[in-house]
Structure 1
Amino acid sequence: MPRAGRRSLAITASVALLAGALPTAAFAQLPSTDDPRVGLGGGAFDAETATLGMEQTGFFDKRESPFFDPATSLSPNVAAAIGTANSDMAFTGDHVIHGNWRGFQIYDISDPSNPTLRTEVLCPGGQGDVNVHGNLLFHSVEQATARVDCGAQGTLPGDQPDPERFRGVRIWDISDLDNPFQVAAVQTCRGSHTNRLVEDPNDPTRVYIYNNGTSTFRHPDEEPGCTDHPLTTDPVTDENVDRWQIEVIEVPLANPAAARIVNEARLFADEETGALNGLNNTQSGALHPCATAAEGSCAPAGAAYSPLPNTNTCHDITAYPEIGLAAGACQGNGILIDISDPADPVRIDAVADPNFSYWHSANFSNDGTKVLFTDEWGGGTGPRCAANHQLSWGANALFEIVDGKLEFASYYKLPAPQTNTENCVAHQANIVPVPGRDVIVQAWYQGGISMFDWTDPKNPFEIGYFDRGPIDEEVMILGGHWSGYWYNGNVFGAEIARGLDVLDLTPTDDLTANEIEAAKTVQLDEHNAMSMRMITWEPSFPLIRATIDQLARDGSLAANKAKQVYGFVERAERFADGPQRNAAKPQLQNALKQLNSADHQRLIDAINDVMATL
């Protein structure tokens, strides 16, 4: 595949190091041991569960999948178990596409209470990150044993060139979900750990893939132009070096077979010196903050950073084309990127944090004014939610975006400790479309799924969870939720070792039935959690009721007024659905008379929007 000329991109902001700005004492708390999730009994498929605001209503048992291997899938040997591990998800219509080290699987979720395996595609190559756009599926491949033809027989050792080896992004035609076929295979220098779909609001004829390769470099005789350079604190200015960049792949939708790399984006360069390695250059052996905290704070982790916060690629990038921004979680830094020209991304700000071992992934708020970054301390294969681990380690860092700059607000971490036989750390998340609030659902591996409100990013709080006991109470076995994503009314949990969970949201003190119903009115044709599209809510009675609940909760609508407004709205809805439809509008007009624009504008707007449909 032809490679583009290398470019050093414009950079308009320097790095903000959070160490001096954080009120560190305020974030030195430990998780609470007074929690229903503490002490759950273990078991691969019969573990005890604890839930709040979530109910398991569907499950696909991984033992029913051809990708389950009784000899290795539940092995305490991580290297063996990961060979059949489930990974991330994308959604199209009534289907989940679920990545796996062996390829990918397609589940029919038309009945969410009974997800069924429709198709499995054997095509080994690593964690198999997936993104979907129309009839195209983009699939990450990074292992040196992966083949162009998807064969399972492997290749020559990685230190020997092999024309049969494939490491990069596969593009599949999934117009027939029963028979996907490969239409392109874009080779890259370090393979593809994650790939991120980026749409161009100004050009619907093509999409872009931001490729993040985190693995070793290819043999130079295998992929010409792939040149490595050792990690160093010395400035690196040689533009021929392929480290310290991400690959931008252009995909013409009318001819995806012509997909090609069009840019190697230098997102980490020093704007003053031009050094390609211009961001965090932490070297091997540097100590994690746990090493200088109270005695025993690191255990069972080691004292050194792992993985290493050294910024030479991005682990993942979340793109939000409608606001012209992306957020890069780039090993040693979180970066804010201008993607107004998606073929030519430009870094506009960067932050670092000594509490973060590995900037892993990111999510924007729906309005694009906030962003959270996750820290995958331990790489996802170790227990990093122990009772002695501070809530600022292996956590989310929440930021506000102010005049194009990232301003730290707070941390959020799973508040319940997990055992030392449960791999646990912050992982993949996405928005739950509760109108008027910013709610996130997030996977924490064997810490389960946590749902939290970060409307006020300085004061995030948990509002729901689903957690199982450890796969094994005596030894650590890789498992837990890789991702927890809301899609069309349910939360889907991609369980590494156990299968696929389907959860319903249930009312709690912090989330009402009306808010859940309003969220369910958002129905998507397809969904990639980190290729964001702005969520909007159509006029509806559930939206009105959810807004009443929120105004009553925060005290801006008195209880007696709320009761009156509910009454008018309920009568209006009954009329709207029956033969007296014309009587609905006067009831809503009566509801409006109870409100004032200073305190209740969102509710006034919601009522007026429904009236306009009557």
Structure 2
Amino acid sequence: MRAGRVAAIARPVAAAALLVTLVASVAAGAPVPAGAREPARDPSIGPGLEWVAHRENPFRRGDDADFINSDLAFTGDHLIQGNFGGFSVWDIADPAVPTLVSTVSCPGGQGDVSAVGNLVFVSVDETMSDDSCQAERVPETDENWEGVRIFDVSDPASPQYVAAVRTRCGSHTHTVVPDPASADRVFVYVSAYSRGASRNCTGRNPLQIIEVPLAAPEGASVIGELELFDDESAFGPEDRVAGGAETRSTTGCHDITAYPAKALAVAACRGDGLLLSIADPLAPVVLQRVRDPAVAFWHSGIFDHAASTVVFQDELGDGFINTCSPAFGADRGADAAWRIQPDGLVKAGTFKLPRVQSDLEKCVAHSGGLVPVPDRFVIAQAWLEGGVSVIDFTEPAAPVELTWFDRPDYGYSMDYTAGIWSVYPYRGHLYASDMYEGLEVLRLTDPAFADAARYDDTGLNPQTQPEYAWVWRDAPVVPSSAAERTPMEILSVHPATLEPSPVAEITVSLPAGSLAAGETADIWWMPTQSVLATVTAASDGSMAATTVTLPGPLGPGSYDVVVRGDVSAPRLALATVVVAAPAPSLAPDAAPATSDASAWWLVVLLSFAAVLVSHSALAKRRRRRSRP
């Protein structure tokens, strides 16, 4: 999207009327988070989802589109929310109570953001009088500046402006790509596209690559350009298919999603979709170009975890009209799932928001990200004023909406676009950036999403898709040799020695510093490779005393108990429980080995036996004497 830069709004395309199932399920009695401004606009909320927090847009000035929120990025316990007027820093250590830490007024839409450690990158895609935060918007035909600004948020309450990098055509969005050869720098792919009369932004815009030295971000600079298209390969008006969408000409890319762990990226480039190899981040290679007659504007893409499928979003109408109506059909302004096969991308299916929206609303597929659920392809995605969807694409040919969050219209039509710009999963919650309303926090409550919070969550840049590691899914491997076991963390266990029994209980604990602060950890019983309990580490990395039941029967022997955290893995804490063998029974001719008073019955029994023997012998002698 571009404020004030859209020359025309795509006209509705005639299509067969579509039966749309109206979902009337509303979360009965759903609590309204503190800070919700308009109770009359309470949202419809689907199953397995809870609205836990709402925060106002700190930049908002009525319905002025120069102060709307845009994208999100996450670094540790902080969320960075972009805005056409700057950005906000939120403390989300407690997702139910997000706290505004600071706002940075530095205009220059659209404010796409990323975060790497303490650095925040902000896209500027409006022509500004200069690169300062006091700059004013100027016509594109005047001398101007646009590109990427870099801030240091080491002190989240006082972010510092440290660098600005000018790029041709500005930066509509950007993508952080780590350097596989060095942790000391990252690359930033800058996406932008030409849009008519301009001093610097005409024709097709190349992919520009910025190098950022992390220890010296003031030295950031453009170090490469790559032409992804030529006259023959770029989509143009002559490539439109009769009866198809009024697809936008390719004058650059809108969005690139990188998956560094797979050395792949997908680029959504208005009229074209690209699959790229980024094995060499400084020299991306186009593996395949695809087009779709139904797609008007290739907006963005999301990989599944295995990089076997990608979902592209179509921003039909640039976000200025309601495409979520039967008039546009099921495959316009929608999601399209493409399988990544050895011979290239193959379209597998489409998904369209199932709830018809009011024509007072702008509704179309927009930004989202992967929900990290093992063995499934689930995404969270924004639909502008159509709200939020959580969609299961595990079977790409038959995607299913699992739940949703959707406000009613304002009662009038906004002059500019409105609604949820983007939504992303982070630590088991969904964070949604509403352009005018502010920040929404939703909690995934369905047990099917329980695993979505168990991964290394130090940060998230949605256009740099992480490879999620679910270490807790596989049993730990405990070394067998004493030399390897000796240096392992000692897990405190009580009692450490047990008697044989069908079942028993032990209590385990760890001191401060044993685990990462607040991480999730499992207590494993290694004989059966089963989890006895799942706990949360304290802020000092300790694990409180936890009592667990050991599955029996417990015969004599030594048994390993292990604690492993999701973040601190593969490090393990180990304890050994000994089940003692029972005392051996006495041999028939053995003398009693105890003088314990509890053996009184044995003394009585032996005395009684002696009397019986004596009487028997006496009777035998008498019988012999009485014989004739």
From 376, 389, 411, the equivalent of 1:450 is 389
Alignment of 1:180-191 (within 5 A): 180-191=159-170
Alignment of 1:205-224 (within 5 A): 205-216=184-195
CA offset at residue 61 of structure 1? Answer: 2.0
CA offset at residue 34 of structure 1? Answer: 2.5
From 123, 130, 154, the equivalent of 2:113 is 130
Amino acid of the structure 1 residue aligned with 2:229: F
CA distance in 2 between partners of 1:574 and 1:313 (Å): 48
- Unaligned ranges ≥5, structure 1: 1-26, 74-80, 221-225, 230-242, 270-274, 291-303, 508-512, 544-567, 588-608
Match of 1:593 in 2: none
Match of 2:174 in 1: 195
CA offset at residue 287 of structure 1? Answer: 8.2
Q: 1:270-304: per-residue Cα shift (whole Å, max 9, x none)? A: xxxxx4x52311269x68847xxxxxxxxxxxxx7
Distance 1:582 1:250, change over 3 A: same
Match of 2:24 in 1: 36
Distance 1:359 1:60, change over 3 A: same
CA distance in 1 between partners of 2:418 and 2:52 (Å): 20
Secondary structure of the residue that 2:237 maps to in structure 1?
A: coil
Match of 1:170 in 2: 149
Q: 1:36-66: per-residue Cα shift (whole Å, max 9, x none)? A: 279x9xx96631321112110111022xx1x
Instruction: Name the structure with the higher strand share.
Output: 2
Instruction: Name the structure with the higher helix share.
Output: 1
Q: 1:537-560: per-residue Cα shift (whole Å, max 9, x none)? A: 1216999xxxxxxxxxxxxxxxxx
Match of 1:400 in 2: 339
CA offset at residue 255 of structure 1? Answer: 2.1
Amino acid of the structure 1 residue aligned with 2:333: G
Amino acid of the structure 2 residue aligned with 1:247: Q
Match of 1:597 in 2: none
1:278 aligns with 2:239: no
Distance 1:613 1:540, change over 3 A: farther
Alignment of 1:286-297 (within 5 A): 289=243
RMSD, aligned CA: 3.3
CA distance in 2 between partners of 1:146 and 1:59 (Å): 35
Distance 1:582 1:417, change over 3 A: closer
Counterpart contact for 2:168–2:205, Cα < 8 Å: no
Q: 1:362-414: per-residue Cα shift (whole Å, max 9, x none)? A: 11001111111110001112211123221100011101111161111011111
- Unaligned ranges ≥5, structure 2: 1-14, 29-36, 477-527, 536-542, 555-569, 576-628
Match of 1:539 in 2: 472
- The normalised TM-score by structure 2 is 0.70
Match of 2:52 in 1: 57
Secondary structure of the residue that 2:318 maps to in structure 1?
A: helix
CA distance in 2 between partners of 1:404 and 1:203 (Å): 32
Alignment of 1:167-566 (within 5 A): 167-216=146-195, 228-229=202-203, 243-269=204-230, 275=231, 277-282=232-237, 289=243, 305=246, 308-403=247-342, 405-473=344-412, 478-507=417-446, 513=447, 515-539=448-472
Match of 1:601 in 2: none
Counterpart contact for 1:540–1:610, Cα < 8 Å: no
Distance 1:157 1:518, change over 3 A: closer
The sequence identity of aligned pairs, in percent, is 36
Counterpart contact for 1:279–1:333, Cα < 8 Å: yes
Distance 1:398 1:135, change over 3 A: same
CA offset at residue 252 of structure 1? Answer: 1.9
Secondary structure of the residue that 1:539 maps to in structure 2?
A: helix
CA offset at residue 215 of structure 1? Answer: 4.7
Counterpart contact for 1:316–1:360, Cα < 8 Å: yes
Counterpart contact for 2:210–2:224, Cα < 8 Å: yes
Distance 1:147 1:363, change over 3 A: same
Counterpart contact for 1:571–1:584, Cα < 8 Å: no
CA distance in 1 between partners of 2:238 and 2:141 (Å): 25
CA distance in 2 between partners of 1:345 and 1:417 (Å): 40
Secondary structure of the residue that 1:113 maps to in structure 2?
A: coil
CA offset at residue 337 of structure 1? Answer: 0.5
State which drifts further: 318-327 or 202-211.
Answer: 202-211
Secondary structure of the residue that 1:35 maps to in structure 2?
A: coil
Amino acid of the structure 2 residue aligned with 1:30: L
Secondary structure of the residue that 1:503 maps to in structure 2?
A: strand
Q: 1:16-47: per-residue Cα shift (whole Å, max 9, x none)? A: xxxxxxxxxxx977352422279x9xx96631
CA offset at residue 309 of structure 1? Answer: 2.2
Amino acid of the structure 1 residue aligned with 2:44: A
From 22, 32, 46, the equivalent of 2:40 is 46
1:151 aligns with 2:134: yes
CA offset at residue 359 of structure 1? Answer: 0.1
Amino acid of the structure 2 residue aligned with 1:280: F
Distance 1:268 1:506, change over 3 A: same
CA distance in 1 between partners of 2:221 and 2:413 (Å): 48
Distance 1:569 1:105, change over 3 A: same
Rg larger in structure: 2
Secondary structure of the residue that 2:145 maps to in structure 1?
A: coil
Distance 1:244 1:579, change over 3 A: closer
Secondary structure of the residue that 1:197 maps to in structure 2?
A: strand
Distance 1:400 1:211, change over 3 A: same
Distance 1:68 1:227, change over 3 A: closer
Match of 2:594 in 1: none
Counterpart contact for 2:65–2:416, Cα < 8 Å: no
Counterpart contact for 2:87–2:104, Cα < 8 Å: yes
Distance 1:574 1:131, change over 3 A: closer
State which drifts further: 209-218 or 129-138.
Answer: 209-218
Amino acid of the structure 2 residue aligned with 1:124: P
CA offset at residue 176 of structure 1? Answer: 1.4
Match of 1:97 in 2: 80
Distance 1:244 1:100, change over 3 A: closer
